[in-house]
Amino acid sequence: MRISYREAMRQALHEALANDPRVFLMGEDVGRYGGTYAVSKGFYDEFGPERIRDTPLSELGFVGAGIGAALGGMRPIVEVMTVNFSLLALDQIVNSAALLRHMSGGQVSVPLVIRMATGAGRQLAAQHSHSLENWYAHIPGIRVLAPATIADARGMLGPALADPDPVVIFEHAQLYNMEDDLRDEPNEDWACDIEHAAIRRPGSQLSLITYGGSLPKALDAAAELARDGIDVEVVDLRVLRPLDTATIAESVSRTHRAVIVDEGWRSGSLAAEVMARIVERCFYDLDAPPLRVCSEEVPIPYAKHMEDAALPQAAKIVAAVREVLNV
């Protein structure tokens, strides 16, 4: 069965709502409008306004309401329209949801899922083109996921809802129209691993490590390099907190080289954390210094040619791999 990333997310949401009366969806335009990216289209009519709740334009308010509902025994899914709007709710996410288990001595948990669109590439200029996943991956007390495949889009929500602690899911907006084949079997268990990174393409000469919207670019780069006889392994982090250091280290220990691709800005990036862990765990296995391919250190431009130049692209990834391999 061939479906889009958007439809995979929609199926996961529908399954969660249909199977558990504690689950409800809340956020801006998720109801009558069907969601900014049409992920919840038709849900308002099917499940009603009690479970598909349009909210005011107040992220601080409705994320806080989601935390309260989770504390009260519900399983809320809070949709924040785009990652830059989540900054208005940082106090609720960082100072409340992430801390309550610790601050209560383990007496309470916050089984809350927060979904948000992230990333650039759609000519939405500097205000709506952020990749701030690393900000959230920095915070103890929350799990951070970045589904980059159709299967992960379909399978991550269920385990996220089962997690007793807050889970933030970043959906790169460039992926919503992506299509791929998905298993279509009766009574399929779609739940996928939300603990470990995944090897998306085995290889022997270099580990190409990435996540989210950069995965298709990394796979394109690997395919181009393969045509020249260069065998690159592609590692999809997919779980940004806690990072699966073991899988990263195992890959780099085999290939002896690494390039990390991250749409975040270079300074203080998730790529920098991955590079640090590689050096800590695999220093004596490295045959060359690791390299990073990140967004340029500028607010993301509006003009298409400038936006493309500011972001990691397959050509930049190929050039970085060739530099590390000295070919």
Rounded Cα gap, residues 210 and 270, in angstroms? 10
β pairing state of 258-265 and 206-210: parallel
* Sequence spans of domains, the chain: 2-181, 198-325
The CATH number of domain 2-181, selected from 3.40.50.970, 3.40.50.300, 3.40.250.10, 3.20.20.140: 3.40.50.970
Q: Binning pLDDT at 50, 70 and 90, where does residue 187 land?
A: low
Which residue type occupies 291?
A: L
Tokens of 222: 């690997």
| Phi, psi angle pair for 91, to nearest 5° | -60, -45
Contact 225, 317 (CB under 8 A): no
256 is a catalytic site residue? no
Q: Is the dihedral of CA 194, 200, 203, 209 positive or negative?
A: negative
Rounded Cα gap, residues 260 and 272, in angstroms? 9
- Express each pLDDT in 276-312 by its tens digit: 999 999 999 999 999 999 999 999 999 999 999 999 9
Exactly one of 7, 79, 128, 133 is catalytic; which is it?
128
The model carries a pTM of: 0.96
Nearest C-alpha neighbor of 259 from the set 184, 206, 181: 206
263 is a catalytic site residue? no
Cα angle 149, 154, 157 (rounded to 5 degrees) comes to 115
- Express each pLDDT in 194-224 by its tens digit: 999 999 999 999 999 999 999 999 999 999 9
Contact 259, 291 (CB under 8 A): yes
Q: Is the dihedral of CA 88, 94, 98, 104 positive or negative?
A: negative
Exactly one of 28, 59, 79, 171 is catalytic; which is it?
59
| Phi, psi angle pair for 298, to nearest 5° | -140, 155
- Express each pLDDT in 15-30 by its tens digit: 999 999 999 999 999 9
- Express each pLDDT in 108-166 by its tens digit: 999 999 999 999 999 999 999 999 999 999 999 999 999 999 999 999 999 999 999 99
Tokens of 284: 């004596």
Rounded Cα gap, residues 186 and 179, in angstroms? 21
Fold equal for 2-181 and 198-325: yes
CATH architecture type of domain 198-325? 3-Layer(aba) Sandwich (3.40)
